């Protein structure tokens, strides 16, 4: 009888305990997280899009390398992110927070082509001369301010010793080379002092790393500072691309190459170049 009473008491206590939990739960219910409304979702999406647009407009910009003038540093089909801030004019309110600096020797820069015949065309080259520098070439070797430059990044596979204008600039007159801008051919003599070309204030002298094929400042002149867009930071994707692909501008050609990319994304992507720093 006692055992039965004890069992009944234990059961009563268990029931009472459960009742107490229910009451505590009723007194302090866990609030449910309110669902996001359509308006709130659209507001969040707009904020993300505006932030992304700001970044790709003012901070970084994506470019594709279309030609071989910077091989082997940059290959045809390399896709790079360009830092638009580093060489931009300093602002008083963000100046201390952003990594501004002046353009230096050896910097690779993206810029708008200075020749009006190529208005709106983006170009990438390496800076060889900054304002005040004296530049000349002898037998294809660059001399800056009288010193011979050591350039381990140069690709010499297409060098042509018979191209005297290219290899002995500016000692050899432009002549009738169709690649030389007529405006530059007329202005060039005014910048020559002795054996050297002198870079004027606010301008830069640039050349491609693939010296034998590069059409650069020797052919169209100096780069105005305001034409500089920024500096390539790294390669985010590289795909094997034909050398003349950039000239195939018809819709059919573009769609054909897009289909080729989709079919051969994995086997023709240069995976070893992914995230490679541009130097």
pLDDT of residue 124: 97
The domain total for the chain is 1
What is the pLDDT, as a whole number, of residue 19? 52
Residue 270 falls within a domain, yes or no?
Answer: no
Tell me what the pLDDT averaged over the chain comes to: 85
Mean pLDDT of 168-197: 95
CATH number of the domain encompassing residue 219: 2.10.109.10
Q: What is the pLDDT of residue 98?
A: 65
Note whether residue 123 is domain-resident: yes
Q: Which of 83, 100, 82, 78 is nearest to 91 (CA)?
A: 100
E runs forming strands in 118-227: 122-129, 134-138, 141-144, 147-148, 192-193, 196-198, 203-207, 223-224
| Residue 188 included in any domain | yes
The residues that bridge with 62 in the sheet, in sequence order, are 81
Three-state secondary structure along 117-142?
A: HHCCCEEEEEEEECCCCEEEEECCEE
Neighbours of 166 (CB within 10 A): 23
Q: With the C-alpha atoms ordered 115, 120, 125, 129, is the resulting torsion angle positive or negative?
A: positive
Q: Please check whether residue 18 lies inside any domain of the structure.
A: no
- In angstroms and rounded to an integer, the radius of gyration of the C-alpha atoms of the chain is 32
In a domain, 176, yes or no: yes
Most confident of 8-12, 90-94, 156-160: 156-160
What is the model's pTM?
0.79
Residue 65 lies in a domain: yes
- The pair phi, psi for residue 94, each rounded to 5°, is -115, -5
- Looking at residue 139, what is its pLDDT? 95
**What is the residue range of 118's domain?**
60-228
Whole-number Å distance between alpha carbons of 135 and 148: 10
Is 255 a member of any domain?
no
Residue 201 lies in a domain: yes
């Amino acid at each position: 009888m006692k055992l039965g009473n004890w069992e009944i008491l234990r059961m009563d206590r268990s029931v009472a305990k459960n009742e107490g939990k229910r009451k505590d739960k009723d007194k302090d219910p866990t609030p449910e997280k309110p669902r996001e409304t359509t308006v709130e979702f659209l507001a969040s999406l707009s904020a993300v899009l505006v932030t992304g647009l700001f970044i790709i407009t003012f901070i970084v910009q994506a470019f594709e390398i279309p030609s071989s003038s910077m091989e082997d540093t940059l290959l045809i089909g390399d896709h790079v992110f360009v830092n638009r801030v580093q060489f931009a004019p300093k602002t008083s309110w963000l100046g201390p927070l952003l990594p501004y600096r002046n353009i230096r020797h050896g910097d690779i820069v993206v810029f708008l082509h200075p020749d009006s015949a190529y208005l709106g065309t983006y170009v990438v080259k390496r800076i060889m001369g900054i304002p005040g520098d004296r530049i000349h070439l002898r037998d294809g070797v660059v001399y800056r301010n009288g010193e011979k430059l050591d350039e381990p990044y140069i690709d010499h596979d297409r060098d042509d010793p018979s191209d005297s204008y290219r290899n002995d600039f500016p000692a050899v007159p432009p002549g009738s080379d169709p690649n030389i801008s007529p405006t530059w051919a007329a202005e060039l003599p005014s910048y020559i002092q002795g054996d050297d070309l002198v870079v004027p204030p606010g301008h830069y002298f640039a050349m491609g790393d693939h010296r034998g094929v590069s059409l650069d400042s020797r052919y169209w002149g100096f780069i105005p500072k305001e034409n500089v867009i920024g500096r390539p930071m790294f390669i985010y994707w590289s795909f094997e691309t034909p050398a003349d692909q950039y000239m195939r501008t018809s819709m059919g050609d573009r769609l054909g190459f897009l289909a080729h990319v989709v079919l051969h994304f994995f086997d023709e992507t240069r995976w070893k170049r992914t995230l490679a720093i541009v130097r």
